[in-house]
Structure 1
Amino acid sequence: MTVDMVKGTATLAKKVWYFIQSTSAAVGSSAVLPAMQTEGSVSIEGDSIDEQTKFGRIVMPSSNEDSIELTTYVVPEDKAVDIITQAKHKGDQVKVWRVVVDKRYAKKTGTDPNSKQVFPAMFGYAVVDSVSLDDGDKLITAKYKLNIIDKLKEGQFELTDDEIATLDAIYEYENPGEKTGNFGTDEQ
C-alpha cells in the first residue's frame, strides 16, 4: 500500500497542559500549572527569504518566531499570574512547557507501578510579549503571549499517576463531617 492512514479518537484539547516557571526559581523547584486554563495555542512561525533572480526564484528559511498564547481565569494565589507579570515588568524571561497529558501518548520510565510516565512536551525560554487582564462583567481573564527565544524544543515531561490525578482533580473525596464550608473557601 502506498498510503499511510490513521484511525482513532482525536486528542482532547483539555489534555494539553501548559506549565510555567520563573527563570529565577531555585534548582529543583516545581513548575507551576496555571489555574483554570481555558485556551492555549502554539504558533510555529518564521520568515523566509524569497528573492527573484535571473535564473528563477530563491526561497529559503530565515528565522524562527515560535510563540505560545495562554488564556486562564484568575484564581487567588495562582502563582502563574505573578510569575508572568513580574517577568514582563522586570524584563526577565520565563520557562514554558506544553505537555500532552493523554495516556495514549504516555511511556513508562520504569517497571515500578508508581514509576513516572513521560508525555510528549515542547519547551522554551520565553520573553513575555504581553499580559492582559480582562475585568469584564463575568470572570477575570488573564491572557499571555510568550515569544520563544530560538525555537521550541521537543522532549518529554515526567508525571506520576498521583501527580496527574492531583492536577486533574478540583477537589478530593471526603467523608461526612470531615470539613465545613463551601468549596474554594478558607473555611474548608
Structure 2
Amino acid sequence: MRSGSDSFLIIQSTSAAIGDPGAVLGFETEMTWGFENEILDEMSKEGRVVGYGDTSESVEFTAYHDTQDPAQNAVMSALENKEQVKVWKVDKQKNANGKHSARFAYAIVESMEMTAASDGFQEYTGSLQVLGNSKKGELDKIPEKILSGLNYDFEEPGEYTGEVGKDRSKENPPNEPGTEVKVTSVTLSKKTITLEEGETETITATVEPENATDKTVRYTTSNRDVASVSTSGEIRTVTGIKAGTATITARAGEQSDVCTVTVKASTSS
C-alpha cells in the first residue's frame, strides 16, 4: 500500500533558465494525476463495436496558499500569461535503480481557485491539462527537505541551522541585507613557535562563523625587535629577528588569539 504523502509535485516555468531545479509545490494537501480514455462506440452490421480512442491526462492539486511559494506563483503566472508549465510527479522513495521514479509533462493551466474559510487557511486549487502524453523517467536527486519532512535525528548544539522541514542545513545561511554578523572566535593554527635568529614559520587564522560580515584578520607583534609577522595574505610568515620572546596577536572584530614566539640565538657559524 502506498501513502498519498509518498509523492509530490515539482512545477517549473517554461521560461526558467537552463540548470534551474524547479520548485516543489509547497503545503500540498491533495494531488491527483488522472487519465481518461475516449471510447469509440459505433454500430456495424455485425453489432456494436467498442474501442479505445485518444487518452487525455490532467493534474489536480490542492495546497494551502502561500504568496511566496515559487511553484504556486509559476502556475498563476502561466494562467495569467496563457503559457505552458512543466510538471513532475515524483516518488519520495528510491526505486530498484536507486533513483526516484517520476512522470513528466508539459501542461496548460485550465483553472485556479482560491478559497478563504473564516476558520482556516486559504486554499489554492489548480487544474492542469497535459499536452500530448506524459513521459515516465527517473530523477537522481530530490530536495533533502522533501525526503526528511518533519523527521530528524538527534543533533548536537550548533550542528544545524534553520527550521526542520524547511531550510534546515549544515551550512550557514546568507546574511540578510543590512544585518551584521559578528565574529565569534579567532583561532590561530599554532600557539607557540620556537625559532633561531633568521628562521621563519607560517601561521594561519580561522574566523568563525563562516558568514561573518567582516572576516578581516589583523596581525601584530609585541616586540618587532624579536619577531616580525608579514602584513598580507591568508598565510602569514613569522620571522625570528633576535633572541627573546614576543607575542603575535591575530584579531578580527572583537575576538583575538595569540601565539608565543621564542627566538634563540643562531647556532650557525
TM-score tier after normalising by the smaller chain length = 0.7 to 0.9
1:135 aligns with 2:125: no
Question: Gapped runs of 5+ residues in structure 2?
Answer: 167-175, 177-269
Runs of 4+ in 1 over 4 A off after TM superposition: 170-174
1:169 aligns with 2:149: yes
Contact 2:67 2:73 in 1 (8 A): no
**Offset from partner CA, 1:43-81 (integer Å, 9 cap, x none):** 111212110111122222221210010111123410112
Match of 1:14 among 5, 16, 19: 5
Contact 1:106 1:119 in 2 (8 A): no
Task: Report which structure shows greater RCO (CA 8 Å, sep ≥6).
Answer: 1
How much is the aligned-residue C-alpha RMSD, in angstroms? 2.6
Whole-angstrom CA distance in 2 between matches of 1:102 and 1:147: 26
Counterpart residue number, 1:6: none
Between 52-61 and 21-30, the greater mean CA deviation after superposition: 52-61
**Offset from partner CA, 1:108-161 (integer Å, 9 cap, x none):** 3xxxxxxxxx2111111001011111111210111110000112211112216x
1:84 aligns with 2:64: no
The 1:174–1:94 alpha-carbon spacing in structure 2 relative to 1, beyond 3 Å, is farther
Where 1:86 maps in the other structure, the secondary structure is helix
Q: From the CA coordinates, give the structure whose radius of gyration is larger.
A: 2
The 1:135–1:171 alpha-carbon spacing in structure 2 relative to 1, beyond 3 Å, is farther
Identity %: 26
The 1:106–1:37 alpha-carbon spacing in structure 2 relative to 1, beyond 3 Å, is farther
One-letter code of the match for 1:169? Answer: G
Match of 1:119 among 100, 120, 126: 100
Where 2:54 maps in the other structure, the secondary structure is coil
Question: Gapped runs of 5+ residues in structure 1?
Answer: 1-9, 109-117
1:37 aligns with 2:31: no
